[in-house]
Amino acid sequence: MFDKSADANGPAPVSLVNQPASATSAVIGASICVKGEISGSENLVINGQVEGSVNLQSNDLLIGQTGQINANLTASQVQINGEVHGDITGIEKVTVSSEGRVQGNIVAPRVTLEDGAKFKGSIDMDPSSVAASTPTPTPASAADQAESVKQALRDVRKKSAANGPAPSAVDAASAARG
């Protein structure tokens, strides 16, 4: 379905959104809404709405310009021309085109973000390291850290109210560190 010979940094992949579905690719039309798990062994073009998950381990997935996805996606090559909220795993490659909007995490050995694409999240281009990674010391969550800084602010303010002028955030932050 996609041009597999194209390099990650080479020309943009050909958009198949407006092309008729071939015998080897299924199409979810623009007016179709699917809730649930989609899996299969053929290429898939999604121009409608999907909520749930899409798993095409050895086939390609194209999200058309009208596609609205609220799901985790897995496919060999993934091209996003529409809107995706969810994590995307590309066994070979993920491309977010200039019209694409993605909020989620991308895992793929090759990732291309075209000029104009909107992306919010993380990109992991070393998928092997994810599986083989050794556990690292867990830092306190930022929420916990924020709470600790806030608690320090309260403590320092209490002390200052009793002893003198109001503290600065820097004093409180130092107290949080201490």
Sites of contact with other proteins (CB under 8 A):
8-9, 105, 109-115, 117-126, 129, 133, 135-143, 145-147, 149-150, 153-154, 168-170, 172-174, 176-177
Residue 52 exposed, middle or buried by CB count within 10 Å (0-12, 13-18, 19+): middle
Taking the complex as a whole, the smallest distance from the CB of residue 152 to other proteins amounts, in Å, to: 9
132-145 burial, b at 16+ Cβ within 10 Å, e below that, comes to eeeeeeeeeeeeee
Taking the complex as a whole, the smallest distance from the CB of residue 4 to other proteins amounts, in Å, to: 17
Nearest to other proteins of 57, 129 (CB atom): 129
Taking the complex as a whole, the smallest distance from the CB of residue 130 to other proteins amounts, in Å, to: 8
Nearest to other proteins of 67, 104 (CB atom): 104
Nearest to other proteins of 3, 126 (CB atom): 126
d(CA 85, CA 17): 19
